[in-house]
Amino acid sequence: MEKVVGSVLLSVGLTSVLLVVGLLLGFCYVLGREKSSPFECGFDPVGSSRVPFSLRFFLLAVIFVVFDVEIVLLFPVVMVIGSVWVWVGGYLILLFFLILLFVGVVHEWREGSLEWES
């Protein structure tokens, strides 16, 4: 119990010291022309900050992220199948998941989402 109280007091004390040091150093901060500009990239902002963005590229990037997450979900299943006996329900769930992935790819292919140039 004494160790818990000691570690809580240590963490509260360290947090308080870091907050006070951060506040003190924050008051010494001087804003200049570069720091007060909307862009901190080293160039003067000229024109609109909105750049035309390709909707096709965005759609392809979202599809990539979705399938990347699905591969991450499949990886542990493959590792378990190789090392331990998995019950039949597990194989059926894996088969359903793979069929669902395949139907999604076919839908995106027929819709034309996977075509870069149209």
DSSP 8-state secondary structure symbol assigned to residue 112: T
Using a pLDDT cut of 70, give the percent of the chain over it: 69
Using a pLDDT cut of 90, give the percent of the chain over it: 14
CA distances from 71 to 48, 98, 109 (A): 39, 10, 19
Of 7 and 59, the structure prediction assigns the larger pLDDT to: 7
Q: Model's pTM, two decimal places?
A: 0.45
What is the per-residue pLDDT across 58-101, written as a single tens digit (0 to 9) for each?
A: 777 888 888 888 888 888 777 777 666 566 667 777 888 889 88
Confidence label for 41 from pLDDT (cuts 50, 70 and 90) = low
